[in-house]
């Protein structure tokens, strides 16, 4: 098969500040929600940061980013996705003036990327709400968050307008449905959170996201600003119409997020859901106009597909990064129980493009696996990660299929291009990288970096623009 990726396709990798930077209390940084979640997304929250929290040191990217970006450049990266830690810029989130040391760090980081011709792709908020905003305001439930986020986004666009072209407003914005604390900074425990408060918080995020698009376009005319959703194609478990309708309704809950970002209005199916669940979203008069500032592109993560059934309550749930419904009997799973479905990425890309006709950006995809560091015949330390190569290869072939289907795609950034701390389980043994980092869940390790077999494989993919897949 002749796989065609467009000229100028942005090949690269992705990380998030809280999962790699470490330096959780350096240079004026405030605490974020991540600093008190030592066991990851589903674990307990502590009062203060505790030593068992792997993210406090992460992979020490804050101090080693030059070495890491040099390795990304060696692979030929055209783009590097990272996030800005909100609490480095506004330590509590509600200050009037930003923290200059935090701003300087990202200036230096972006300069380092440009030194190698790597375009930064920046997530404004990636699961790291300043803790103060979570505890004092209950995160996005409170409308005041819109103003704090707007000030933060304005600060970033003003400062980095000449260094950053591609922006994402919120990471996996739909994950708030499952993880209100990590995704939305909502301090109320999930089991006590009303649907009213949850969807009000979502509305506030929509308005904030659209405001970021508006002010981003004003302050940085070359900026391309996208939403970012957790994509999880959902298949009916059987052709039973009950399963098909249950699937449609489940998908609506997720498509809702991209629909509002791409179309600027609330879809009818959500209005129905609100009516039937006694949810009354409070909107200020200006909100409708703000929402019309729609995104330039749709970005998404893709790891798993899932199934839905009209009788799903009696069926086994599948694992997912944050979400997941009924297990698919045709698919194998990863060591963490995530379904592996390369064709799902082609399917979901077609769905998004058919729905919006906006360019897509694949900003996360990858395999979390246990790696074994070995010394090869040349005496180099490495990992023979053929399983990761197979996973990525199979998915990229399907990205090419989607391109052949006519889908417009800006680029592809594989998740965790360097090993980092996992979001769901806060483990380092769940490795995604092309680069092995010598750090372990008991806190031991030298933090040395080693090229895995996949490092060389990805380098070839990039230099051939996908021809070696
Ligand atoms: C996505 C997140 O949900 O999946 C990332 O945007 C996360 O932050 C990634 O790391 C992989 O999930 P995990 O739990 O394996 O780290």
What pLDDT does 128 receive? 97
For the question of residue 364 being annotated catalytic, the response is yes
Report CA(119)–ligand 1 centroid distance (Å): 22
Per-residue pLDDT for 152 more than 90? Answer: yes
- Quick check: CB of 171 below 6 Å from ligand 1? yes
- Quick check: CB of 414 below 6 Å from ligand 1? no
List, in sequence order, every beta strand (DSSP E) within 303-425: 306-308, 360-364, 374-375, 381-382, 409-415
> Which residues share a beta bridge with 170?
125
What pLDDT does 2 receive? 73
What pLDDT does 124 receive? 98
Of 344, 376, 342, 357, the C-alpha closest to 452 is 376
Read off the pLDDT band of 325 (50, 70, 90).
confident
Which class for 305: exposed (0-12), middle (13-18), buried (19 or more C-beta within 10 A)? buried
Where along the chain do its domains lie? 10-463
Q: How far apart are CA 329 and CA 284, in angstroms?
A: 47
- Quick check: CB of 41 below 6 Å from ligand 1? no
Which class for 203: exposed (0-12), middle (13-18), buried (19 or more C-beta within 10 A)? buried
Instruction: For domain 10-463, give the CATH superfamily.
Output: Glycosidases (3.20.20.80)
The catalytic position among 364, 380, 384, 408 is 364
Inter-residue contact 78 to 410 (CB < 8 Å):
no
- Quick check: CB of 173 below 6 Å from ligand 1? no
Q: How far apart are CA 42 and CA 326, in angstroms?
A: 20
Q: How far apart are CA 271 and CA 273, in angstroms?
A: 5
Which ligand 1 atom is at minimum distance from the Cα of 421?
Answer: 16
Kindly provide the ipTM of the predicted complex, given to two decimals: 0.99
Report CA(188)–ligand 1 centroid distance (Å): 22
- Quick check: CB of 322 below 6 Å from ligand 1? yes
Tokens of 332: 């194998």
What percent of the chain lies above the pLDDT cut of 70? 97
Report CA(282)–ligand 1 centroid distance (Å): 32
Q: Which SS3 state, helix, strand or coil, does residue 93 take?
A: coil
Report CA(423)–ligand 1 centroid distance (Å): 5
Question: What is the arithmetic mean of pLDDT over 252-256?
Answer: 96
- Quick check: CB of 424 below 6 Å from ligand 1? yes
Question: What is the arithmetic mean of pLDDT over 396-420?
Answer: 98
Report CA(367)–ligand 1 centroid distance (Å): 10
Q: pLDDT tens digits for 25-83?
A: 999 999 999 999 999 987 899 999 999 999 999 999 999 999 999 999 999 999 999 99
What pLDDT does 341 receive? 97
């Amino acid at each position: 098969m002749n796989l065609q990726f467009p000229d100028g396709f942005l090949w690269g990798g992705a990380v998030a500040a809280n999962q790699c930077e470490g330096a959780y209390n350096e240079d004026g940084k405030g605490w974020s929600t991540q600093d008190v979640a030592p066991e990851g997304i589903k674990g307990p929250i502590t009062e203060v940061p505790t030593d068992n929290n792997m993210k406090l040191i992460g992979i020490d990217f804050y101090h080693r980013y030059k070495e890491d970006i040099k390795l990304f450049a060696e692979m030929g990266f055209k783009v590097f996705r990272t996030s800005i830690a909100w609490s480095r810029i506004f330590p509590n989130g509600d200050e009037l003036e930003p923290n200059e040391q935090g701003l300087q760090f990202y200036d230096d980081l972006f300069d380092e990327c440009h030194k190698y011709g790597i375009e930064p792709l920046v997530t404004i908020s990636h699961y790291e709400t300043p803790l103060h905003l979570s505890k004092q305001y209950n995160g996005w439930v409170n409308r005041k968050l819109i103003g704090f986020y707007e000030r933060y986004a304005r600060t970033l666009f003003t400062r980095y307008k000449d260094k950053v072209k591609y922006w994402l407003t919120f990471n996996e914005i739909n994950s708030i449905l499952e993880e209100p604390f990590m995704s939305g900074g909502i301090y109320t425990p999930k089991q006590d959170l009303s649907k009213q408060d949850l969807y009000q918080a979502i509305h506030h995020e929509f308005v904030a996201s659209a405001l970021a698009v508006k002010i981003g376009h004003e302050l940085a005319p070359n900026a391309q600003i996208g939403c970012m959703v957790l994509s999880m194609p959902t298949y009916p478990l059987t052709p039973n119409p009950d399963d098909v309708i249950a699937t449609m309704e489940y998908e609506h809950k997720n498509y809702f997020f991209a629909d509002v970002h791409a179309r600027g209005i609330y879809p009818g199916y959500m209005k129905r859901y609100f009516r039937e669940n006694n949810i009354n979203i409070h909107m200020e008069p200006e909100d409708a106009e703000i929402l019309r500032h729609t995104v330039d592109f749709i970005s998404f993560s893709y790891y798993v597909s899932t199934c839905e059934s009209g009788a799903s309550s009696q069926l086994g749930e599948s694992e997912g990064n944050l979400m997941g419904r009924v297990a698919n009997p045709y698919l194998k799973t990863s060591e963490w129980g995530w379904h592996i479905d390369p064709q799902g990425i082609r399917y979901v890309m077609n769905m998004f493009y058919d729905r919006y006709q906006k360019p897509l950006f694949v900003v996360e995809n990858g395999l979390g696996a246990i790696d074994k560091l070995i010394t090869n015949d040349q005496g180099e330390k490495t990992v023979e990660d053929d399983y990761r190569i197979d996973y990525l290869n199979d998915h990229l072939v399907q990205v090419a299929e989607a391109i052949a289907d006519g889908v417009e795609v800006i680029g592809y950034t594989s998740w965790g291009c360097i090993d980092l701390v996992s979001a769901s389980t806060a483990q380092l043994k769940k490795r995604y990288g092309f680069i092995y980092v010598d750090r372990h869940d008991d806190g031991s390790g030298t933090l040395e970096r080693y090229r895995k077999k996949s490092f060389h494989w990805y380098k070839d993919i990039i230099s051939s623009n996908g021809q070696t897949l």
